[in-house]
Structure formats: C-alpha cells, structure tokens
Amino acid sequence: QSALTQPASVSGSPGQSITISCTGTNSDIGSHNSVSWYQQHPGKAPKLMIYDVSNRPSGVSNRFSGSKSGNTASLTISGLQAEDEADYYCSSYTNSRSVVFGGGTKLTVL
C-alpha cells in the first residue's frame, strides 16, 4: 500500500487560512470515510485533529476543518496561529483492512 500524497510543506501568515491536500486512490480515500488528520509537534506524539473526514474530537478548535472529494481529502486551518506550526499527517482506512498515512506536511507560520 503506497503512502497517501501530501505536499511537503505549506506556509501562511497569522490570521490567514491554509489548506493541505491528501491524495489517495479508489482503494483508500475513494472508498472509505475513515479519513483522519493528525498534528505532530517536534518530539511529541501525534494528536488527532479530524476523524471521519470532517469530525472534530472534543477540544479541537473549530478553526480546523476537513473535507473529501473523490480520492482527495483536505484539511483547512483558518485564522492561523503560531501554535499551529507543526507537521500534519492524513490517514485512511484501506480495502486491504490496513491503514495508510500520508508522507506529512510541514506547516510554517510566517
């Protein structure tokens, strides 16, 4: 199972919005709504930010939102803040009953 495709890096200024894309195939994102997004700060464990394409766990800011169209999922962060600077990973359940992650996107807040 090949990794999902994410841009290596994105950047934005405080207050702006950014979107991170995550492209898969008909065997993962295209066939399942178990698409999630994780935030990881350096040296820390990942944190679930979005599950089931667009749902936020309790405690996650509503500045984070998710969507999906076809084989591509997206994470949008609005009102960028300095603490949003981190690595972001998408993941999807697959037809092989496994989970595949994206390669990760480094978000820089300028």
Provide the binding-site residues for another protein, judged by CB under 8 A.
1, 3, 32, 34, 36, 38, 40, 45-48, 51-52, 57, 89, 91, 93, 97-104
At 83, give phi and psi (nearest 5°): -75, -5
Report in angstroms how near the CB of residue 14 gets to another protein at its nearest.
Answer: 26
In the complex with another protein, which residue's Cβ is closer, 6 or 71? 6
Q: List phi, psi (to 5°) of 102.
A: -80, 170
Of 45 and 82, CB closest to another protein: 45
Record the tokens describing residue 84, joined without a space: 């949003």
**Closest distance between another protein and the C-beta of residue 16, in Å?**
25
Give the tokens for residue 102.
Answer: 């994206």
Query: Which structure tokens are listed for 56?
Result: 């936020």
Nearer to another protein, 40 or 72 (CB): 40
